[in-house]
A = this chain, B = another copy of it.
Amino acid sequence: MTLPHPTADQISLPNVLAVLGDPTRLAIVRYLASKEGVPLNCSRFLDLCSKTNLSYHLAKLREAGVTRTEAVGTSRLITLRRDDLDRRFPGLLDSVIAAAGDDASLPAVGGHEIEISA
């Protein structure tokens, strides 16, 4: 069961920029990029805002084509749509992520993830 996503060529540049122009969503994208390849579920982002609000922001990211959301059980697995974004807007995601990487004013994600100890 998959939620509605735009196709790659339905992704609009102004819309992507507008959606990334929110500190909470930019923090989500930065974190997704830092764990790229690993699908994360929503709860990972609960220190950014309330559950309700998170649902709203993740829907915005999905509807803009920035993320892909897959429903698995009661979870939603979130991934960056890097391939589609790189094809549509070469270099954009990388430069945004690089710039966001240095940005101490963005809210931080993490601090209570379940890490595997060695």
- A21:B26 contact, CB within 8 angstroms: no
Which of B17, B88, B94 meets A21, CB within 8 Å?
B17
Residue of B with least CB distance to A93: B95
Q: How far is the CB of A29 from chain B (nearest CB, A)?
A: 11
Q: Does A53 contact B (CB under 8 A)?
A: no
Main secondary structure of the interface of A (DSSP, over half): helix
Q: Does A92 contact B (CB under 8 A)?
A: yes
Q: How far, in angstroms, from A25 to B14 measured CA to CA in the complex? A: 9
Specify which chain B residues have a CB less than 8 angstroms from the CB of A95 in the assembled complex.
89-92, 94-95
Residue of B with least CB distance to A22: B14
Q: Does A36 contact B (CB under 8 A)?
A: no
